[in-house]
Amino acid sequence: MTSFSPGPAAPVPLTYEQEWYLARGRGIRTRRNVRLSFRILGPLDTDRFEEAVRLFIARHDALRMALVLNDSVETPDAQQVSPVRPHDRSITTQSVTAGSADQFSRYAAAVFSRDVLTPLGGEKRPFTLRLLRHDTEHHAFLATFNNVFFDGRAHDLFSREIWRDYTTLRDPGGVPPTAAPSFARAALARHESRSVRRLERARTSWHERIEFAARNRWQEPAASPTPSGSVHVRLSASAVEELREHCKSARCTVMHWLVGSFVRAVATHTEQRRVSLWTSLDSRGPTERDTVGMFAGSAPLAINAPGAPLHEVVAEVAGAMVDALRHQQLPACDLTALLTAPPAAGTSGGPLPLVGDIYVNLRSFPGPLRSARNSSSLRITADAYPLRRITLKDSSALHLRCNEYRDGVLIDLLFDGQRAGRPLAQSIVDQIVSDTTAVTSRRLSSERFLP
């Protein structure tokens, strides 16, 4: 066993994103944990796999965090790293008697669904990890995490590092990394970097964007309701490669371009003369890209001219996203006060939610797009076990999800059938595809998107 230092023992403050998450009415215990799962086919070396997971937990102090509870306050404002205990087993293992692979998968999905709803907090570790065994060639790995300590980027790091370390441990003399950036130190650095001037600028920026959102609420189209659902499209590797080249010369990112196309399509097919949307932002700095923790928070974007030419809309979107990230650091008490303030003159409706009527979720992954991959002699399938008897309600009228991979982009537009409807969602996605086709056929190659 490799020995590790236990990390800082003194309590450290929460990140702004952790504060927001706890202040959104979720309390100390999460009602729904974030999750990932794998189907593993082939001769899994369970000892090496458990060691790879243990090494990840030892390196990344976010998975050894606990909130510092205080009966005198409604929500905690500090967290503390627990010592590494090398002999603790991080994974619960179980052999499952099942008549078939399908029966085993149904059992794994049921267990996974229960874990998603089981509170993680208080004295418990902020995760539950299970390795279920159907036979020597078939395993299920189920992982749920308390969202207070674990965001989407942390998911990607977990998936990549445990399989990397498993492969390394299987090689004679292989030694996985023993160090990783500290979440506790990153949280402390954010607290120490606070200044009155920076906070005032953040309050002003948030106030302007929230007021814009209140003045430009979603206008439901005059159309017959449809069942809620989603529209899906995949951009091929060749199309994405050409789009990247175009964005490189245009000084924007693929995500800026896709959101710009989406916003313009919304304006084209609705009565929205201005568009307010919310998006998730990751506040990790360049040196914190491999830090596991909670750095993801929602932020409003104000788009004043969504009906302008595409390159102008992309430029406005890019500028709005950069500005929002620059002013993302706002304490939960200030954010709550802004969201619950009485409506300004000329606005309608009640308090704004932290996720608005139009929501955009963007994620970029360094690896290829594929549902399964090989690691040593294993075939590993991600997201293999769907939730059972759990319905996740989306509060947005339109929710765009873009996942960018090295060799493709997945686009899903989720829609509320009562507030948007399938025809509108399909028209928006069709326009995004049309815009992409125009770029990849070089018809927009002379335009530059300069934020």
**CA dist., res. 141 & res. 39, Å (int):** 7
**CA dist., res. 325 & res. 282, Å (int):** 8
User: Residue 162 has what pLDDT?
Assistant: 94
Is 379 strand, coil or helix?
strand
What is the chain's mean pLDDT, rounded?
A: 86
**CA dist., res. 451 & res. 435, Å (int):** 19
Residues of the chain above pLDDT 90, percent: 57
User: Residue 349 has what pLDDT?
Assistant: 59
pLDDT-wise least confident of 64-73, 93-102, 105-114, 198-207: 64-73
User: Residue 23 has what pLDDT?
Assistant: 81
Instruction: Name the H helices within 22-134.
Output: 46-59, 101-117
pLDDT (tens digit, 9 = 90+) per residue, 174-189? 999 999 999 999 999 9
User: Residue 348 has what pLDDT?
Assistant: 60
Confidence of residue 306 (pLDDT cuts 50, 70, 90): very high
Q: Is the dihedral of CA 178, 180, 183, 185 positive or negative?
A: positive
CB of 281 within 8 A of CB of 15? no
Q: What number is the average pLDDT over the span 146-165?
A: 91
Q: What number is the average pLDDT over the span 339-343?
A: 74
Q: What number is the average pLDDT over the span 407-428?
A: 94
CB of 134 within 8 A of CB of 93? no
**What are the backbone angles phi and psi of residue 42, rounded to the nearest 5°?**
125, 175
367 pLDDT exceeds 90? no
CB of 161 within 8 A of CB of 51? no
pLDDT (tens digit, 9 = 90+) per residue, 237-262? 889 999 999 999 888 999 999 999 99
Confidence of residue 279 (pLDDT cuts 50, 70, 90): very high
User: Residue 371 has what pLDDT?
Assistant: 52
27 pLDDT exceeds 70? no
Q: What number is the average pLDDT over the span 424-438?
A: 94
Q: For residue 414, what are the β-bridge partners?
A: 230, 399
Q: What number is the average pLDDT over the span 409-420?
A: 94
**CA dist., res. 381 & res. 141, Å (int):** 10
Residue with the bigger pLDDT between 239 and 443: it is: 239
**CA dist., res. 343 & res. 353, Å (int):** 13
State the residue for tokens 């989306």: 394
Confidence of residue 161 (pLDDT cuts 50, 70, 90): very high
Alpha-carbon radius of gyration of the chain: 23
Cα angle: 319, vertex 323, 325; to 5 degrees: 120
CB of 395 within 8 A of CB of 353? yes
Q: What number is the average pLDDT over the span 315-338?
A: 91
CB of 292 within 8 A of CB of 57? no
CB of 127 within 8 A of CB of 273? no
Q: What number is the average pLDDT over the span 89-101?
A: 93
Residues of the chain above pLDDT 70, percent: 86
Paired tokens of 67: 């909130």
Residue 296's nearest CA partner among 251, 216, 355 is 355
